[in-house]
Amino acid sequence: MLKAKKKILITGGSGALGLNIQKLVKCDTPNSKELDITDFKKCEKAIKRYDPDIVIHCAAWTDVAGAEKNKKGCWDVNVKGTENMVKVADGRRFVYISTDYVFDGEKGNYKENDTPNPTNFYSLTKLMGEAVISQHDNTLIIRTAFKPDGPWKYPKAFVDQFLCSDFASERAPDIVKASLMINLKGVIHISGRKKSVYELAKRVSPNVGKMSIKDVSVKLPQYITLNSLLWRKISKQNRVKK
């Protein structure tokens, strides 16, 4: 485990990414009862109690289909919750975990300066979270893509949606590295190679079935690969400051 001199607080510590970050670096991970990000006062109390140098904001509503049914709930977590946390962070380094879904999926291989165009409510809220973060200094937006480790949680997987996801345990090391690069700010893409969702699912569940994005009611982006050349260049040139 990396023992960074900087004090780190993670929101969403019980999620797939948060759990894997905890295996790599010493950090504080208040549970959702102590730190309900939709409750500004609880956010204030948590920051005062832990007094972190860095906040890695992993907490998010990630149920894409559920977001269409409960837009208020999704907005409260992904936009209001993000706004609460970056405000109480009050200038501390703040790392926001965003998503490849901010793009419309019409072409893929998206670079950091490409224009986002959300296709569903979940992706809209994540982009609005980015807008909130960009109004504050000392912040980093990491657009990334990952799935929880372990067997595929669904009986089928999309053969016609192409992304750059790997599993959370594979993505966490680079996210920790980027978070500890205190001079890295703005927007960065961190991702893997292009693959279909089905290809990814087969890695952990060989008998997973096939389906199309046309089989679901919510509109999903089709080609959402991220171009991570900038991150790979920065990663090679920089060593993490402990």
Catalytic residues: 122
User: Residue 135 is encoded by which pair of tokens?
Assistant: 């109004």
Distances (CA, A) of 72 to 43, 134, 184: 19, 22, 33
Q: What is the C-alpha separation between 118 and 102, in angstroms, rounded?
A: 5
What is the residue whose two structure tokens read 């927007």?
187
Distances (CA, A) of 76 to 12, 15, 20, 67: 15, 18, 25, 11
Closest to 240 in 3D by CA, of 51, 25, 20: 25
Closest to 13 in 3D by CA, of 182, 26, 4: 26
DSSP strands (E only) in 182-237 = 186-190, 195-196, 209-211
* Contact in structure between 145 and 99 (CB atoms under 8 Å): yes
